[in-house]
Chains A and B, each alone.
Chain A
Amino acid sequence: MAMLEFDNVAVYYGKVQALRGISLTVEEGEIVALLGNNGAGKTTTLSTASGLVKSHSGRVSFNGTDITKAMPWNVVGAGLIHVPEGRRIFSTMTVLENLLLGGYLVKDRALVAKRIATVYELLPLLAERSTQQGGTLSGGEQQMLAIGRALIAGPKMLMLDEPSMGLAPLIVARVMQVISEIRDQGTTVLLVEQNARAALKVTDRAYVIDGGTTTIEGRAVDLLGDSRIIDAYLGA
């Protein structure tokens, strides 16, 4: 049984159709990339899974449960955590408060404290800035905070939307490294990226979305050598 499964999902914004039949699966323990150009429908795909956007037809399931019509807080409660495009840090709240919000549904406070300690270990720069306002962090730091915040929820699976956006190459490498560490510790990952090269280096498999449908699917190592990918997404 797949951890996350999209079966022919269609989504409209008003009259505009953003997704025209997305089908994909992510198995437990996998790290899968979702590639595609601007406006292809990557963010909409993640938002449909997390319940921010309602699908018009098709079915989304998580761990065998139908979440097509689930409310966002139920999706989070089930362990599927979406780290949104543009980080969406609560800018006037401190780093610590942002992390605490990540654990909003975790009733056991000791567990939240333990997870925060673990995140501070994984991302020491957050520990140093614990009392600083989230909005004053650099872009890379904010991305780390967004990922750290998602970890406090104790995710079974993370969906990351363009974590490399706007970051210097060195920082991108660091973010990708953190993402693979998270996977190595047992969390399944769906990684949306425009930076296909960076994404394919750390993922097992990838899907390409074009015009709201999944067009290409394959193992990352194969896709790195696939001419369709090279021409369209990896540059010459």
Chain B
Amino acid sequence: MIQLIWDGLFVGSFYALIALGYSMVYGIIKLLNFAHGDIYMLGAFIGFAVLTSVGGIPASLSIGALLVVMLVSMLLTGTAGVLIERLAYRPLRGAPRLAVLITAVGVSFSLEYGISALAGPNPRAFPIRLEGNVFVLLGARISLPQIILMLIAAMLMVLLNFYVEKTSTGRAMRAISLDRNASLLMGINVNQVISRTFFIGSALAGAAGVMAGAYYGKIDFLMGFIIGLKAFTAAVIGGIGNIKGAMLGGLVLGFVEAFGAEWFGGQWRDVFAFAVLILFLTLRPTGILGQRVTERV
């Protein structure tokens, strides 16, 4: 039981990191950015490129190296997110939703096959592999790398939450998702805030990509596909557009998968995740935290 909770929490924190970008972008421009999972993949490959170009890293330094590589990767994936919005989505502002959605799918393919062309279609071994002792915590097994990665994910989410709740730009992001025209009348430069949103969301996905590479040890150009769908599921579970919802949805999905795989067998893991997605889309499309607040018109 406790074991399942640890497993769920671990996988869930990955989902949450990626779901955040999904949800933030949806909140602010009402776009399901299907290329978001591929930013995670891009992050892993940037980490891979940086690490291979500096050569071997002694195992004792791997955590420090991981953090540095993660920062570099976050900067670059963040920039990639900004460019994608700028070049692919912004020109379509005001165009029918479907046109933008199809563009997002196109961007997704471009990233996947672009990386495949650059790095080859075969899986690559990630240059650092986090290894560490396995602890028994509250009667269940958890490894040091798992703990470290969960802590990093938690820290990133705390920072993000602070940014969105307390800073002027964060407030502007929330304002735009509530009412874009009213935000314009506040003097908010909507383009700038949208760029920042893409930067942050993509950087978080990039961080998750590097973490996944270091944990699983293997990366490939399609690794973002399934996890992108899972992150979308997590965002829907929590209430798409809602930041806390994305975090919660990630964890819930992690638990659902861990428990589902335990009770019904590992091969049902993904089926479970998508069953939950369909269940939410039909029964409660606003998610757990969506539109709970009283409104008076």
> Which residues in A have some Cβ–Cβ distance to B below 8 Å?
50-52, 71-73, 76-77, 81-84, 88, 90-93, 97, 100-102, 104-105, 133, 135-137, 149, 153
Contacts and interface: CB of A to CB of B under 8 A. Distances in A.
Contacts of B295: 91-92, 135
B294 A136 contact: yes
B174 interface: yes
A207 B189 CA distance: 32
- Give the interface SS of chain B, mostly helix, strand, loop or mixed: helix
A153 B172 CA distance: 15
27 contacts: A50-B185, A52-B184, A73-B188, A76-B185, A82-B185, A84-B181, A84-B185, A88-B179, A88-B185, A90-B175, A91-B178, A91-B293, A91-B295, A93-B171, A93-B174, A93-B175, A93-B178, A97-B171, A101-B183, A101-B188, A104-B186, A104-B188, A133-B294, A135-B293, A135-B295, A135-B296, A153-B186
Contacts of A72: 184-185, 187
A167 to B, nearest CB: 14
A12 to B, nearest CB: 15
Nearest to A138: B296
B185 A92 contact: no
A104 B187 contact: yes
Given A90-B179, A135-B293, 17 more contacts: A52-B181, A81-B185, A82-B185, A84-B185, A88-B182, A88-B185, A90-B178, A91-B293, A91-B296, A92-B293, A93-B174, A93-B175, A101-B172, A101-B183, A102-B186, A105-B187, A149-B186
Contacts of A137: 296
Contact of B294 (A90, A104, A135): A135
| Chain B interface bracket (under 10, 10 to 19, 20 to 34, 35 or more) | 20 to 34
A226 B64 CA distance: 81
Contacts of B267: none
Contact of A90 (B182, B184, B190): B182
A73 B296 CA distance: 28
B168 interface: yes
Interface string B217-229: 0000000000000
B294 A76 contact: no
B10 to A, nearest CB: 32
| Residue with the highest number of chain A CB atoms closer than 10 Å, among B172, B174, B178 | B178
A137 B296 CA distance: 8
Given A73-B184, A135-B293, A136-B294, A101 B175 contact: yes
B178 to A, nearest CB: 5
A225 B256 CA distance: 73
Contacts of B179: 88, 90
